Amino acid sequence: MRVVEFAGLAPVPFGAMVLADLGASVIRVDRIGVPPPMPGDPLGRGRRSIAVDLRRPEGVEIALRLIADADVLVEGYRPGVAERLGVGPAHCLARNTRLVYGRLTGWGRTGPLADRAGHDIDYIAVAGALDPIGRTGGPPVVPLNLLGDFAGGGLLLAVGVLAALYERERSGRGQVVDAAMVDGAALLTTFLHGLGAAGLWHGTRGTNLLDGGAPFYDVYPTADGRHVAIGAVEDKFYAELLDLLGLTGTVPDRADPAHWPDLRAAIAAAIARRTRDEWAALAEGTDACLAPVLTPAEATAHPHNVARGTFTEVGGVIQPAPAPRFDRTPTAAPVPAPAPGRDTVDILVGSGWSSEAIPALFAAGVVA
């Protein structure tokens, strides 16, 4: 599968990374003179790079030649930008009727907010995904940029692209995949809407089963100032948790939320008697649903992650390995992100530019 990616920040690179991890051949079209967000950025792994000035007609023609031979294009421009550059869906599908044109925006291509700037935190706020996260009486807690940029944005862009490719096998035609981070973040809250309709989720933040309101589904500080996560929802797992903590027969019935403050105090006092790693060792071999809260750096060395190869080293940078896994067609080891324009000559030759024309493109600043 051949993918052309117009360089951007975070969400689109993540979606293109997923496609590259799964085996796609991805060419990133970088802007001339714009450095990558960080050296060896893991989101840029598995690509080749050509640096092109899309403000020049010659640069647009280079991009359209690449697109003519591609299966997929992904871009994250604000509405109207691709059209003004001459690489919008009409231009690209005229060159390649089988092209899947994947575009990702924050607010979507339509609606009263479509033309406004924003970031992950804004999209998840309007989607209703930010408000439920946090403690009672406190403000919402920012969940990094995981929900909007990556889960609701880049990942769903990749899912949409794969679905469109599957449909193309039947119709023979490409189409536009319109992914919006506000839509994707809203989709991630589907379960909460179901709980609310069933009367199992209340509007008050931090008082519900899965938001830290329940003392048997929360994070607790340990004797060394670190934390453990407890998720003993089912009765049999909860019974093992109480046994592990030495609380069997000493705590009130958890079925009544009125007892939750006393139950929380008892669990907190028990957890505070040992260090994080002591609790992790005691929980090994049990179904108490107690796990150590690890930093990202610590996670790379955890025995379970090491055994599974959950993390890998690419270009000297430890990072998550491709996922999911396949038994018959395993994914290849990722290669480091390219410097912008590293493969410009090879890509031009591969798309039909003559050895006589290429130096002129460099001299004119069309490519770099």
What is the per-residue pLDDT across 189-217, written as a single tens digit (0 to 9) for each? 999 999 999 999 988 999 999 999 999 99
Integer CA distances (angstroms), 210 to 8, 118, 205, 268, 280, in order? 34, 28, 10, 18, 22
The band of 38, judged by pLDDT with boundaries at 50, 70 and 90, is confident
Same domain, 174 and 278: no
Distance CA 4, CA 26 (A): 6
Residues 22 and 65 in one domain: yes
Q: Of 34-48, 259-273, 341-355, which range is least confident?
A: 34-48
Residues 242 and 142 in one domain: no
Beta bridge partners of 312: 319
Tell me if 349 is assigned to some domain: yes
Say what the pLDDT of residue 324 is. Answer: 96
The answer to whether residue 316 is domain-embedded is: no
User: Torsions phi, psi of 20, nearest 5?
Assistant: -65, -40
Q: What's the CA gap between 145 and 130, in Å, rounded?
A: 11
Q: CA-to-CA distance for 282 and 186, rounded, in angstroms?
A: 39
Tell me: do 54 and 177 sit in the same domain: yes
The reply to whether 15 and 105 lie within a common domain is yes
| Residue 8, in any domain of the structure | yes
Look at residues 1, 143, 9, 21 and name the one whose alpha carbon lies nearest to residue 76: 9
- Residue 71: which of 1, 8, 21, 151 has the closest Cα? 1
344 and 276 in one domain? Answer: no
My answer on whether 51 and 138 are in the same domain is: yes
Q: What pLDDT was estimated at residue 71?
A: 98
Query: Which of 232, 258, 293 is the C-terminal boundary of a domain?
Result: 293
Check residue 74 and give its pLDDT: 98
The answer to whether residue 249 scores a pLDDT higher than 80 is yes
Per-residue model confidence as pLDDT tens digits over 141-185: 999 999 999 999 999 999 999 999 999 999 999 999 999 999 999
User: How many other C-beta atoms are found inside a 10 Å radius of the C-beta of residue 98?
Assistant: 14
Same domain (yes/no): 286, 342:
no
- Model pLDDT, residue 245: 98
CATH number of residue 140's parent domain: 3.40.50.10540
Residue 260: strand, helix, or coil:
helix
Note the pLDDT tens digit of each residue in 90-103: 999 999 999 999 99
Residue 299 lies in a domain: no
Residue 325 maps to a domain: no
* Per-residue confidence (pLDDT) for residue 295, from 0 to 100: 98
Which CATH number is 243's domain given? 3.30.1540.10
Specify if 289 maps to a domain: yes
Establish if 331 belongs to a structural domain: no
Q: How many residues does the chain have?
A: 368
Number of domains in the chain: 2
CA neighbours closer than 13 Å in the CB half-sphere of residue 98: 14
65 & 109 share domain? yes
pLDDT at 88 over 90: yes
Domain hosting residue 101, numbered range: 2-188+338-363
Q: What is the mean pLDDT of the chain?
A: 96
Q: Same domain for 128 and 66?
A: yes
Tell me, yes or no, whether 200 lies in a domain: no
pLDDT for the residue numbered 34: 87
| DSSP percent split of the chain into helix, strand, coil, nearest 5 | 40, 15, 45
What is the percent of the chain where pLDDT is above 90? 96
Are both 92 and 234 inside the same structural domain?
Answer: no
pLDDT value for 127: 98
Whole-number pLDDT of residue 39? 75
Give the residue numbers marked as catalytic.
119, 149
Same domain flag for 179 and 230: no
Answer with the one of 264, 293, 322 that is the final residue of a domain: 293
Quick one: what percent of the chain has pLDDT higher than 70?
100
- Residue 36: which pLDDT band, with cuts at 50, 70 and 90? confident
